[in-house]
Structure 1
Amino acid sequence: MRATHPVAVVPEMNDDTFIAALKTSHKEKHLTKEDKYLICPAIFDPGFSETTSRGLDNVVYANGVWLDFDVGNLAHKELAAIFPGLRIAAFNSFSSTKAEPRYRVYIPTSRSMLAKEYTSIIDQIIQVVKDSGYPLAKRDEKRPGQKAHGIDMSKRHAASLFYLPCQPRDPKGKIWKEHKDASRMPLDVDSWLEHAIPVETSVFETEVTSSRSNSQDVARPPVDQARIDRAMERWTTHGTRAGNGDSELFILSQELKRANLPFDEAEILLLQAAQSANTPTDRRIQAQKIMKKLRKSWTI
């Protein structure tokens, strides 16, 4: 996926073939993480919603479970020990280092899932991890005696996007490990749903989910696609010229916000625009700062 439009749909394939494809992708080297394609667990139907084309309301089904681990205390080996019966592929993110490992995991599933089923599975996984001695989402200096799992709580839904594997910027941060001995199998969706465990939801997690996901319970204004198209045309015409990038990228961010584009999609679009700037490194840093500042005020 580039920007907000998919470039391909992953065809149905067995788990071995898909994980082998992830491993091949992991061998690639890139200057920035934005050079990589994004992948989403879900298949979307734009006709499911009048306001979004790639939101949670548009999910037809999702296949496989993805989790993002960002600077917690939980190593992938410990995660595998917590779930001894699950097949798990773990690989570094672009910013992973030896001192601060960052990684993602892919867990194959026995069948495809509806959006609500996907979130239920994710929430149960997180709860098991919490109960195994990692109660915090992020490290907290005020609670030094409690460990953090580091799971990105904003990516608990099926419409989440993940960068495909690649080599880390710091070679010492490289991680690739497939936990797949004979006792490990794809996650049994029906069993997990039938025997679902109670899940605790903290105030912090509720806020993150409501601000970042496209929940059916939240009324959303329609996306103004015409405004987005005009903004992107302006960026292509003016923003990519020398001396214009700084001001035009900020203008683009404001136009995407006013067009009611969901935060995740706007962030991707802004980072992709930065790549086409006259000074892409500077604009990429600027885009990250802009979106970090706007995150709390973004309404969808």
Structure 2
Amino acid sequence: MKAVVWGLGKLGWEAVEAGLRAPDIELVGAVSRRARSSGLSLPGDVPIFDDLDAVAEAHPGAAVVHAHHELGDALVAAAVACASRGLSFVTSSGLFDPAGQMRDHGREMDRIARKHGVHIVAAGAQPGFFFDVLPGLVLPIAAVWDRATAAKPSDASSWPKDTRHALSIGEPPETLDGDLPYPLRVSAHLLVDALGLGIEQITEQRVSTTSARDIELHDEVLSAGVATGFSQVCRIVTTDSREIELRWEVSVDDDLVRGERPFRLRVERSSLSILELELDGEFSDDPYPATVERMLHVMTAAQNLSPGLHRVIDVGLSRSVAAG
């Protein structure tokens, strides 16, 4: 599969390195007008193109690995820009389950991909993996339970500046509260489906956290009083009256997300814990290498599917997670 990396930030460089290593991928270029104009070069004499038109002319039918951090309409526009030029498109940025996230359930993106004979692949599974795949594997072990809580910390200081601000970190707290750019309810539906249950009620909210002091990051200083993170909670009541709570705890403050707050899964029966799981280590970091490996894996696998819009689980979620 011929692949082109669109964007040369941290994720983009990971994609370049992974593409050069992968035996079933031919990395034929990257897209970055800024990098090209600055004279930057890639390993192996891989060319850098100014725009997608140049890519389509040089390598028609190539797959574009989207390495920008975009959400909503901007992300849809990027996918359509590739598809309309005959280029397939894979992203993990804000696109986990198009049918659940998009107003038209992804029908327009699917139509455009089919029209141009390409694949648009939503490879997002992070932070979803911790909220659907992992609980989906563990909860059946507990067998009889009535409440489960999964809580994952994320170190937002490791994210690019534009990603933090896209999620309103560094902005006034009121711009963050209530907004849900990365809805956990998508993972909630996948988890409940995997468990063979139904949803009676589902609620979700995101509340900002702030700091009374300035916080200095590697690329900016967050002034006291702005949003330095958030707690996003999705609560589900199943049709058989079980309760599931998914908590995403994001902060730029290292002390809050490392060591003291690992990923936690607690399963209860009659308010008594019957199973507790903690995963420490680097789970709070944004897993760029795993994200890239998953994107390349699912796009390669999607070549065997008909053109259209596909999710990561359409080509084997367990295989793609294992690859990461």
TM (norm. structure 1) is 0.31
Question: Which has the larger strand fraction?
Answer: 2
Larger radius of gyration: 2
